[in-house]
Amino acid sequence: MVAVSADHRFDLGRFPLASGQVLEGAQLSYRVLGCPTATADNLVLYPSSYGAWPEDIDWVVGPILDPARWCVVLVSQFGNGRSSSPSNGGGWWGCGRWPVTHADNVRAQRRLLEEVFGVEAPALIYGWSMGAQQGYHWAVLEPDRCRRLLALCGTARTTPHNRLFLLSLRQALTADPAWNGERFEGEPLRGLRAFACIYASWAASQAHYRGLSLEAGGWSDLEDHVERAWLPLYRRHDPHDLLAMIDTWWASDVAMASGCGGDLAAALGRVSAAVTVMAGSHDLYFLPDDCAAEAALINGARFELLPLTLGHRAGNPRDDPALQLRIRAALEALLDRSC
Amino acid sequence: MVAVSADHRFDLGRFPLASGQVLEGAQLSYRVLGCPTATADNLVLYPSSYGAWPEDIDWVVGPILDPARWCVVLVSQFGNGRSSSPSNGGGWWGCGRWPVTHADNVRAQRRLLEEVFGVEAPALIYGWSMGAQQGYHWAVLEPDRCRRLLALCGTARTTPHNRLFLLSLRQALTADPAWNGERFEGEPLRGLRAFACIYASWAASQAHYRGLSLEAGGWSDLEDHVERAWLPLYRRHDPHDLLAMIDTWWASDVAMASGCGGDLAAALGRVSAAVTVMAGSHDLYFLPDDCAAEAALINGARFELLPLTLGHRAGNPRDDPALQLRIRAALEALLDRSC
C-alpha cells in the first residue's frame, strides 16, 4: 500500500490563459504519492487524463512508479472537476468553447512545481492519453524543464479523426433536452447515455468486444454493459466539465501552442527531453501510426507498440500485471538514457 | 447512360414477419436496369444498403454490372422509406424495436422475383453493406435459389462491436428533445447532427480524415464538413426509418435466422452458392478480419481485401474507377466459377 496524502489545493489566483481570457481564483488540485528527497530530484509529474480523478489513476504508483524511489505529483488537469472547472467556479463560456488549453495546464503545473516543491525540472513526466498530451506540451513549451517523458497512447497534436470523435461526443451530449444552447438545465441523462455509448465504442477496440460474448443477447445485454461499465464514468461528472475537457483535448496542438504556426516538425524539433512513446496496437483514436509519426519527429525518441486488443485503454492497465511490467521496463530504459 | 425504368411497386398484401408480427399492406419498391432475356437467366438481385435509395446506388449498373448483359433488379429493403417503412404506413413499434429482419427481406424479394420475373434463382446477388447482409441471408436461407453472391463489406452476422456502433447511433438520435419515448414529434435536428457525426467517424477511416486537411481549422471546419457531406444523407429520411433500418441491421444473423441456434459455422456450412467476399482494409465496423473469418466458413468462398483508406465506403466506389474495375474483375472471376 502506498501512503496517500489528502489532496492539496494550490491557489493560482487570477490566472491569465493563453487565449487572453482569465480564470479568476484559479486552483490546481494535486495528490502526492511518495516522499521527495532533500533536493526533490525524484519528483515525477503525472497529469490526469480525460475524466480521471486521482483515485482512478493513482494505482500507477506501485506497479509502475515505485513510491520508495519516486515522489509522484498527480495533478488534476483543469476542467476535471477538481482543479478549476466549470463546475467549481472556473467559468463557463456558454455557446463558445472552454478556452483552457494544455499550454495553460503546463504553465499552472510549472508554478506548482516551483512554488510548492522548489523544482524547476521534474525527473520524469508520465502521462496517458490527455496526460501524454500535457507531457508533449511540457516537452515542446518548456524544453529546459522537461528531462524525460513517457507518453502513453497520446499525440502532441489532436488528429482530424480524433476531433471527429470528440465532436460526436459533444453533439450527442448537447442533443439532450437539458441543453438550452448555452448550458445544461438538469442532468442530460439521454445525452449521457449516447455519450457513454460513443465512448465505449471508441475507447476499447472492435476485437475487445469480439471477446466479450455479448453477441448472443439482444439489445438489452449491450445496453446493460454500457450502463454498468461506461455510463457511471461520465455521469459522475458535471456535464459542463465533460464538455470543457473535450474542448481542451480538441485544441491540443503543440505546433500551434509553441508559435510554430502549425509546423509540427518544427515544434517537436524543439524537444530536448529523452522521450519514449508507447501506443496501443488497437487504439482507435490515438492511432499507433500517428504516435509513431510524431515520435519520428523527436530527436532520439523511442517508439514501442503495445500489442493489445483492449484499444486505447491499453495505456492504463490497472488490471494487467504483465502490461504494467512492460511499461515499467520501458520506464527503466528511459531512465537509463542520458538527458 | 443506362435506361432506367420508373420505380415499380410490388404489393405483398398482408405480410407475416418471421417474428410473428405482421406488416399490413406491405410492398416492395424496386428499379429495373437492363432487360431480361427470354428466359430471364440474366437477372441480378441488388438489395439496398443502409439509408440508400435506388438513385444513390444504381451507378453500379454500368461500371460494374454491364446493363447490356444483365437485368439488374435493385430492391429497396424494408425500412428505407420506399419499400414498406414506418414513414409510409409500414407500422411502428414505439419503444420496442422494428421487427423486420433480413429473413423478411429475403422472403419478400423471393416473391418479387418469382411473381414478377418468373425467376426462382437469380444469376447473381450483389450487395454492399446491409445489401451484403441480405445476400448472406439468401445464401443461407435459400441455398437452392442463390447461385452466386458477391458480398462487399458486410457480414452474415452483426458483430458485438458493430452493434455498439448502432446503439450509439440510436441513443444519439433518441437523445433529441423531439423523441417522446415512443416516436419523434418534429424533426430531431440535434440528434441528427450527432447521428451524422457518429456515422462520419465510423464509415470513413481515420486515415481518410488524415488526408482531408481539416486539421488547420477550428471546430467550425469539421462541423461544416459533417453538415455538408454527411448530415443531408440522414436528414432526408424520416427518423423512424433511420431507427427501423438500424434495428434490422442489429438483428442480422444468419445463424439465428436459419434456426441453427446461433451456430454460425453450421449456418454458413449450408451455403452452396459460389461466394466472393470483399472487405475494405480500413473498414471500421465490417472488419476485414470478421469478413475473412466468415468466408472461411463457406465452402469454396474467396476472400479479397480492398486496401483503401476510405474505410467502409470503399465498397461503394462511386467515384473511383480503379476500384470499380477491381470489383468488376472479382465479379468476372466469380461468374467463371461453376455453381
3-state SS, B129-154, equals: CHHHHHHHHHHHHCCCCCCEEEEECC
**Do residues B269 and B299 make contact, with C-beta atoms less than 8 angstroms apart?**
yes
In a domain, B3, yes or no: no
Beta strands A43-47 and A124-128 are: parallel
Q: Residues B303, B315: one domain?
A: yes
Chain B residue numbers with beta carbons less than 8 Å from the beta carbon of A200 are: 164, 168
Q: Residues B120, B218: one domain?
A: no
Chain A residue numbers with beta carbons less than 8 Å from the beta carbon of B163 are: 214-215, 222
Q: Residues A18, A152: one domain?
A: yes
In a domain, B1, yes or no: no
Q: Which of A167, A201, A285 sits opposite B223 (nearest CB)?
A: A167
End-to-end Cα distance, chain A? 32
The per-residue pLDDT for A104 is 98
The tally of CA atoms less than 13 A away on the side-chain side of residue A65 is 27
Q: Residues A137, A197: one domain?
A: no
The per-residue pLDDT for A313 is 87
**Do residues B44 and B71 make contact, with C-beta atoms less than 8 angstroms apart?**
yes
**Do residues B33 and B72 make contact, with C-beta atoms less than 8 angstroms apart?**
yes
Q: Report whether pLDDT(A2) > 80.
A: no
Catalytic residue, from A129, A205, A252, A258: name it: A129
Nearest CA in chain B to A246: B219
Output the CA–CA distances (angstroms, integers) from residue B129 to A50, A196, A262, B197, B293, in the order listed: 34, 26, 38, 19, 16
Q: Residues A120, A178: one domain?
A: no
Q: Domain ends where: A211, A226, A248?
A: A248
- pLDDT per position as a tens digit, A13-37: 999 999 999 999 999 999 999 999 9
**Which is nearest to A269 in space by CA: A292, A305, A300?**
A300
Phi, psi of A205 (to 5 degrees): -100, 170
User: Which candidate in B98, B176, B187, B219 is best for mutational testing of the A interface (most A CBs within 10 A)?
Assistant: B219
User: Long-range contacts for A90-98 (Cβ within 8 Å, ≥24 apart)?
Assistant: A90/A23, A90/A26, A90/A244, A91/A21, A91/A23, A91/A24, A92/A183, A92/A240, A94/A182, A94/A183, A95/A181, A95/A182, A97/A247, A97/A250, A97/A251, A97/B219, A98/A243, A98/A244, A98/A245, A98/A247, A98/A248
Q: Residues B151, B300: one domain?
A: yes
What is the Cα–Cα distance from A286 to B327, expressed in whole angstroms?
A: 32
- pLDDT per position as a tens digit, B192-209: 999 999 999 999 999 888
Q: Residues A303, A216: one domain?
A: no
Beta bridge partners, B28, equal: B10
**Do residues B108 and B12 make contact, with C-beta atoms less than 8 angstroms apart?**
yes
In a domain, B2, yes or no: no
In a domain, A74, yes or no: yes
Q: What amino acid is encoded at A257 in this protein?
A: A
- Residue B263 or residue B338, greater confidence: B263
In a domain, B56, yes or no: yes
Q: Domain ends where: B248, B274, B299?
A: B248
The per-residue pLDDT for A161 is 94
Q: Residues B291, B220: one domain?
A: no
Catalytic residue, from A58, A241, A247, A283: name it: A283
Chain centroid to Cα A110, Å, comes to 17
Q: Residues B238, B262: one domain?
A: no
Q: Which of B164, B201, B222 sits opposite A197 (nearest CB)?
A: B164
Chain A residue numbers with beta carbons less than 8 Å from the beta carbon of B176 are: 175, 177
What is the Cα–Cα distance from B39 to B41, expressed in whole angstroms?
A: 5
The per-residue pLDDT for B93 is 78
Burial of B213 (0-12, 13-18, 19+ CB in 10 A): exposed
Its sign, for the CA torsion A284, A293, A154, A12, is: negative
Band of residue B100 on the pLDDT scale cut at 50, 70, 90: very high
Q: Report whether pLDDT(A1) > 50.
A: no
Q: Residues B47, B74: one domain?
A: yes
Percent share of chain A, pLDDT over 70 = 96
Mean pLDDT of B70-80: 98
CATH number of A210's domain? 1.10.1740
B312 is an active site residue: yes
A87 is an active site residue: no
In a domain, B237, yes or no: yes
Could you give the residue ranges of the DSSP H alpha helices within A74-150?
A: 102-117, 130-141
Burial of B182 (0-12, 13-18, 19+ CB in 10 A): exposed
Q: How many domains does chain B have?
A: 2
User: Rounded to two decimals, what is the model's pTM?
Assistant: 0.96
Phi, psi of B123 (to 5 degrees): -65, -30
Nearest-Cα distance to chain A for B251, in Å, is 8
The per-residue pLDDT for A314 is 85
Burial of B14 (0-12, 13-18, 19+ CB in 10 A): exposed
Stretch among A89-93, A142-146, A314-318, B247-251 having the lowest mean pLDDT: A89-93
- pLDDT per position as a tens digit, A229-288: 999 999 999 999 999 999 999 999 999 999 998 999 999 999 999 999 999 999 999 999
| Record: contact A161-B219, CB cut-off 8 A | no
Phi, psi of B44 (to 5 degrees): -115, 130
The per-residue pLDDT for B1 is 45
Residue count of chain B, please give it: 339
CATH number of B117's domain? 3.40.50.1820
Beta bridge partners, A306, equal: A280
Chain centroid to Cα B280, Å, comes to 15
The per-residue pLDDT for B245 is 98
What is the Cα–Cα distance from B230 to A199, expressed in whole angstroms?
A: 21
Per the structure, the complete domain to which residue A196 belongs is given by 162-248
**Do residues A154 and A130 make contact, with C-beta atoms less than 8 angstroms apart?**
yes
Supply the DSSP string of A189-231, one letter for each residue. HHHHHHHHHHHHHHHS-HHHHHTTT-TTS-HHHHHHHHHHHTH
Q: Domain ends where: B209, B225, B248?
A: B248
Q: Residues B223, B275: one domain?
A: no
Q: Report whether pLDDT(B287) > 70.
A: yes
The per-residue pLDDT for A337 is 86
Q: Please tell me what DSSP assigns to residue B179.
A: B
3-class secondary structure, A331: helix
Q: Residues A184, A151: one domain?
A: no
Q: Please tell me what DSSP assigns to residue B283.
A: -
Stretch among B119-133, B140-154, B214-228 having the lowest mean pLDDT: B214-228
What is the Cα–Cα distance from A11 to A8, expressed in whole angstroms?
A: 10
Q: What is the mean pLDDT of chain B?
A: 94
| Record: contact B262-A216, CB cut-off 8 A | yes
| Record: contact A159-B212, CB cut-off 8 A | no
**Do residues B314 and B280 make contact, with C-beta atoms less than 8 angstroms apart?**
yes
**Do residues A108 and A28 make contact, with C-beta atoms less than 8 angstroms apart?**
yes
3-class secondary structure, B212: coil
What is the Cα–Cα distance from A248 to A242, expressed in whole angstroms?
A: 10
**Do residues A148 and A124 make contact, with C-beta atoms less than 8 angstroms apart?**
yes
Its sign, for the CA torsion B203, B207, B212, B215, is: positive
In a domain, A240, yes or no: yes
**Do residues B104 and B78 make contact, with C-beta atoms less than 8 angstroms apart?**
yes
**Which is nearest to B265 in space by CA: B294, B225, B222, B305?**
B294
The tally of CA atoms less than 13 A away on the side-chain side of residue A36 is 17
In a domain, A1, yes or no: no
